[in-house]
Structure 1
Amino acid sequence: MMALIIKSWFLIIILTCLVISIKANHLLVDKLRMDFIKLEQKLWSYVQWETFYMQQEDVEFEIVKALYNFDQNMKQMPKDILRGTEPIRNIHAFLFLYSEVLHTENLYEKFRQYQEDQMRVNNIGGFKDDKKRLDPGIETQFILKDILNRNTGANVTVNKVYNLTFGSENMVMEIVDLILNDYYCKGYNQSPQQVFYNLYNVLALNGLKSYIMLQFAYLAQKISDKGGNSTDLSEIARVQFEKRVNETMSVFRGAMEIAPMHYWKCDPKEQIKGKTYEEFTRLLQGHIQNEVDMNNGGTCRESCDSYPTTKNHGCYDGDSKYCREIERCNGQIIKCRFVESHMEICPSQNPLRRYDHIVYESGKTYGEYKTCWKKPVNSWWRWFVHCSYCLCLCDEQGPKSDRYISMRPVLADIKNNRVVTGIKFTKHNRILHLQIQEGKLMPYGYIDNTTVRWAPVDNYKITDPDVYNEIDYFTLTYENRSMALDDIELEKHNSILTGVRFQFINGKLRLQVHYSTFDWETGRLSPEQGTYIYQKLGGRKEIDLSKVDVPTKSPKNHQSQMNVNDDSYIKFTNTAFELDAAQTTVPFLDMQPVTNEPAVPLMGAGIYYKNLENYGGYIAPKIMTYDYSQLILVRFPRIDVKGSVREIDVAPN
């Protein structure tokens, strides 16, 4: 009767231990560690009592059952946890560490199978024994032999992993060197903080699995009376575990606090239009126009610079080759100036350009010289008045000019608990869209990577009915062509990125991000609390693009440099007259997807500018991965002699 009462008491304690709710948010692996420490203390207390009242096999089975129940929580950790270590696979120390971690994984899987076998032979937990009943004692001997092996056992392996991480190899410093040396151009698809976070999970889970197996081994020895010093060995293991955990938490929390959460893409090895980059076309373009055609009276009394803004009023000399063969500007004519009276124009075969180059009588050449059938363009005198051909800019909307940006909200499927995990530019139906990658948010900040997908962009055209400028899309013009370079980072750890959009605010296109609050332990979003925010004070310093060439002409062996000037903005404009005859709209648009691999939730997004000196560069999106650094414990939760867990230090959320 006494044995039954104590057994019932034990089961209640075990179940209570497994469902303890920790008020502060912690990483799942840290919570599992704390839960096991509490379970471990209960198990040792149970062994001290039950060996007086129950058979050895029964006590051993109750221990196994408790560990089996705990292991169901362990299965919340990602199965492919090593997938996140891709960026450090070539680090020397990791090559050795990887094999040791795999060894622990294999040993723990064998231990897990042992637990399931014990449940099966006792017909517990839904297992049905269709095989001959196994002797639990024999199976226990086999698993203990593997766990306590002096060459390959759990304690040996976990110490090797620890020494490879913090010992003479000092893998942590190798990772720091990796991040400091052109990290973003290596194509790792992880923010620097994520590199440390993913490795921390691997090390913490490896240490916990080893510790669970060791404590089971010492408990089993205590029950069998074959381990007279098993209690002492258990305490030694606990002290060593505490030392490893404390250093791991301290080092990785510190590293994650200073490692950037931002992730962006360097230039690809080869630029391919439509795949790696896109461009706005014919927004502002070099154009030659005679003064006589830029005013209602058809006069030539003014100079070229008297026409800051005008339009084409016809073609005075309708029989000339210029009027018959050179493309007109049917939009605004802007910022005219006089260069020379006589020139030859090389009309372009590229429909996105008017001219390939312009050669003036003096030999001055605007644009890249090519062999072509040149068209002579000569200013003329009318009585005592000189009718000059002016060099201007043309702002002409039409089928050749793609200059549209979607302003529609781009939201993840919040109702199905999906969040934004990546972002990229996409051009569809001549409209530039922000496209999001989304995935289902799981408990403890994980993403179900089987659900990750690129959400399709809205399929609409600017000519569709019920589609309106400045509501559904924005049209770039000479007057309105500025984009703020903003970083928007969420400040609260219970908020997560669920959408993006562009809005035209105070004369500039601005990125806005949509966020939703969520529950850390369940992963459930609160869609009714979602809202948009943007950077209100940024975008006051214009980046100079007055004398730049086509971005794809930049040297292939040089990477564009990110502009780190805070509070800045760019104006989409033309390339330099001297370099490209002002025929191309810059900056270009970097179309490379910006994601984390494996996918993680995001705490922010941004728009930045990168270029090489004298080249037009690229506008591109970037992401800020979720900040896990504040969720790592500060120190190991110790157990005092009375068996109660001491207060755990955590940073405020």
Structure 2
Amino acid sequence: MSVRRARALLAVLALATCAHALLDDALEVIKLSKEIGEEVLSSWDIIGKPFNVTGGVELPLVRRREREVLARLGQVSRALEKLELGVEKSETIAILIAKSVGRGARLELRLLEMSDLLSRIASADRRMREYVRYQRELERDTLENFAKWCVSHDPGALPDLLERVHSLIVPPHKNLLGRGLLQLVLDDLQQDHPDLCEFQLSQHQLIYDMYNTISLTEIKGYAMMQFSWMLLRIYGKGNFTQEASLTRTRYGERTSQTAAAARAALVLAQRDLYRCDPPHHKLGETYAEVTRLLQGYVENEVDMNTEGTCRDNCAYYTLAENHHCFADQFCQKQKICKGRIIDCQYIDSDMWICPARLHSNRRYDWIEYENGRTFGRVGSCMQGTTKVDSWWRWLFWHCSYCMCLCDDASYDSDRYFSLWDATSDVKNNKVVTGLKLVKLGRVFHLQVAEGTLGERGVVTPGNWVPVQKFDPLDPGMRDGVDFHTLSYERRAVDLDELDSPAGSILTGVRFRMLGAHLHFEIRSTPFNFTTGRLYPEKSIWLSNDNTDGNAEKPRKRLELHRPDIPTRTQTPLPVDSSHDQYIEFTHSDFEADAAQSTVPFIDIQPVMPMKGASLASGAGVIHRGSRGSGGFLAVKLSTYDFARHVRAAAPPTAFEEEDTTEFSPAIN
């Protein structure tokens, strides 16, 4: 990646990172905007209406009013600090964004400019907070000069900085300056399809966080300008009633236009959240496997019929089983398939087989036939190769070794999926904040993380809901009720991406059986966005019950073309599935892997927003893969759609001045 692109991506960090925890705190930007507007309005009341005086004003009175205004400003400052509590720029986030796809030059320049502007406004805000903290030790000139800068018309003063920020979001002349920054970011994300999954943010979240950052900056600027007018009025520099009113009006215009731009981008932004390939695949940490479902198996035809004859050929045995071990041949040297033997084929008479190491899920590491054909990656053999030769019986019957598939649901085969619900504690107002597939013993389970829902989409992070481990052989466990057993006929998994209706959020997931397919469902619960209250009694389970047998629009099968082991792939595996498809667990390719592995593998990485908790409305089961790879079966989340909740909260439109003679600054 070029230095220019990396710089642009780090500029995104300046916009997005400082908003990551906004919704994790007690207040939300829109609500805070309204509260600060009301605080500013009430603060004008303590100044009073000025009137002409002849004798001037005593300094203690000026200082008292100054302290009262700064105390109000301190309250506003603490509210802003509460919103920013715990927000730190993370080196990890910077690295993840830097690895993302490059930005164009136009976008890069605008991001860098926005980063610079926000940094300068944040610096002014920090200075203001210091002045509030040390107000008793400060000279009047210090506060007065700062207040003048906050309302100055000079280039580089606070009003100019705020207007420049706004012009990047809502260009004043679109025909000349083009589209706004939020739309440019979204266009770039969608065009180049970056792996946002690397840092667990959906496009929707990224745009929403940028909007929150900009909105928070507007609130800071508005508060600084309004309190500056108050201070200047106290210091006898003028009335400033009209100026304060114009400041309020312009703030309302900017925030309204910014909200409209954010809504337009959010409506188009994708809300998908899933995991990418990790830097290094590790069994049991990033992926797990269904084992020995359909596995390549070498068997002589003489052992696949009760008569012990060789009068048929390999192709005859489409469905068979082992009946004996004739004359202690190769069958004596390998573990017998005690289940069904399926789809046999003749490759060549003689071969060298490299048996897999003890306790491996494989039977063979590789096979090399006498005709030169190879199955698997031929190389060294830790166990030593075994020569396997077909033979003639009674001159005219050839007892051939066949390459078949073994479907053996023995204790060595991990092929079970739990059908138990995985839900959040809705009675205690908890929602799903994370999702993953886990393998406990021989069984795969869905597991959810939960968090407590609060006002306006605020979610307090919680923990992963414990999964109860069981074995299919445990007393009382029922196939088709408590778990599903994969088999040759029942190995399909439906690939669906489900979302809750408007006004509802995700509170549970589960698998159930739909015919012979393992089928995914979500639980959706209505809630009140303003109060954060869930309505558990109105929860419903949602699914896409379409099947491949539908005559009008059948569910489509996702084909795996000669699939190799997915961990061997050197390039990232993208999502190649779509809603309303299904995939079948199958064996890996004969040539690539001697059909020893069951694919797809299972991605067990947790899917959870980087904030630790975020509102989710949907979930799904997807496949990440490419041609020639078995890929990974994985889960995804859909982040909540905040678009309809984004709106500007205009400050109060007017304040009334009361007649008072208690204090009136002299007009200098």
Query: Shorter chain as normaliser: what TM range?
Result: 0.7 to 0.9
Kindly indicate whether the alpha-carbon contact (under 8 Å) linking 1:444 and 1:520 is maintained by their aligned counterparts in 2. yes
Alignment match, 1:161: 165
Q: CA deviation at 1:586?
A: 0.6
Report whether the alignment pairs 1:77 with 2:83.
yes
Kindly indicate whether the alpha-carbon contact (under 8 Å) linking 1:64 and 1:115 is maintained by their aligned counterparts in 2. yes
Alignment match, 2:22: none
State the secondary structure of the residue aligned to 2:502. coil
Kindly indicate whether the alpha-carbon contact (under 8 Å) linking 1:499 and 1:514 is maintained by their aligned counterparts in 2. yes
Kindly indicate whether the alpha-carbon contact (under 8 Å) linking 1:262 and 1:622 is maintained by their aligned counterparts in 2. yes
Q: 1:136 to 1:409 in 2, by over 3 A?
A: farther
What pairs up with 1:190-229 in 2 under 5 angstroms? Answer: 190-222=201-233, 225-228=236-239
Can you give the 5+ residue segments of structure 1 that lack an aligned partner in the other structure? 1-26, 119-132, 644-653
Greater RCO, CA 8 A, separation 6+:
2
Q: 1:209 to 1:538 in 2, by over 3 A?
A: farther
Alignment match, 1:615: 629
Kindly indicate whether the alpha-carbon contact (under 8 Å) linking 1:346 and 1:375 is maintained by their aligned counterparts in 2. no
Report whether the alignment pairs 1:305 with 2:319.
no
State the secondary structure of the residue aligned to 2:208. helix
Kindly indicate whether the alpha-carbon contact (under 8 Å) linking 1:50 and 1:59 is maintained by their aligned counterparts in 2. no
Percent identity between matched residues is 32
Alignment match, 2:441: 429
Q: 1:186 to 1:435 in 2, by over 3 A?
A: closer
Matching residue within 223, 238, 242 for 1:232: 242
Q: 1:504 to 1:620 in 2, by over 3 A?
A: same
Amino acid at match of 1:340: D
Alignment partners' CA distance in 2, 1:200 and 1:611: 34
Alignment match, 1:19: none
What pairs up with 1:556-635 in 2 under 5 angstroms? Answer: 556=570, 558-598=571-611, 599-633=613-647
State the secondary structure of the residue aligned to 1:187. helix
Q: CA deviation at 1:65?
A: 6.8
Alignment partners' CA distance in 2, 1:365 and 1:492: 55
Report whether the alignment pairs 1:531 with 2:540.
yes
Amino acid at match of 1:77: L
Alignment partners' CA distance in 1, 2:565 and 2:138: 77
Alignment partners' CA distance in 2, 1:435 and 1:93: 42
Q: CA deviation at 1:328?
A: 1.1
Amino acid at match of 1:346: C
Kindly indicate whether the alpha-carbon contact (under 8 Å) linking 1:559 and 1:612 is maintained by their aligned counterparts in 2. no
What pairs up with 1:368-517 in 2 under 5 angstroms? Answer: 368-372=377-381, 373-382=385-394, 384-448=396-460, 451-493=461-503, 495-517=504-526
Report whether the alignment pairs 1:331 with 2:339.
yes
State the secondary structure of the residue aligned to 2:367. strand
Report whether the alignment pairs 1:32 with 2:32.
yes
State the secondary structure of the residue aligned to 1:454. coil
- TM-score normalized by structure 2? 0.78
Alignment partners' CA distance in 1, 2:81 and 2:450: 24
Amino acid at match of 2:524: Y
Q: 1:71 to 1:51 in 2, by over 3 A?
A: farther
Moved more, 502-511 or 198-207: 502-511
State the secondary structure of the residue aligned to 2:519. strand
Alignment partners' CA distance in 2, 1:421 and 1:538: 29
Report whether the alignment pairs 1:253 with 2:263.
yes
Alignment partners' CA distance in 1, 2:649 and 2:529: 21
Alignment partners' CA distance in 2, 1:522 and 1:409: 27
Moved more, 360-369 or 160-169: 160-169
- TM-score normalized by structure 1? 0.80
Alignment match, 2:9: none
Q: 1:383 to 1:178 in 2, by over 3 A?
A: closer
Q: CA deviation at 1:512?
A: 1.5
Matching residue within 188, 206, 209 for 2:199: 188
Alignment partners' CA distance in 1, 2:225 and 2:75: 17
Alignment partners' CA distance in 2, 1:416 and 1:108: 39
String of CA shifts for 1:358-412, please: whole Å, max 9, x gaps.
3333222233223442222314324644433322110112232211222222222
Alignment match, 1:13: none
Moved more, 389-398 or 237-246: 237-246
State the secondary structure of the residue aligned to 2:307. coil
Matching residue within 537, 549, 566 for 1:551: 566
Q: CA deviation at 1:210?
A: 1.2
Alignment partners' CA distance in 1, 2:39 and 2:334: 84
Alignment match, 2:10: none
Q: CA deviation at 1:585?
A: 0.6
Alignment partners' CA distance in 2, 1:596 and 1:407: 26
Question: RMSD across aligned C-alpha pairs, in angstroms?
Answer: 3.7
Kindly indicate whether the alpha-carbon contact (under 8 Å) linking 2:617 and 2:638 is maintained by their aligned counterparts in 1. yes
Moved more, 562-571 or 538-547: 538-547
State the secondary structure of the residue aligned to 2:331. helix
Q: 1:139 to 1:417 in 2, by over 3 A?
A: farther
* Count of equivalent residues: 594
Alignment partners' CA distance in 1, 2:155 and 2:423: 54
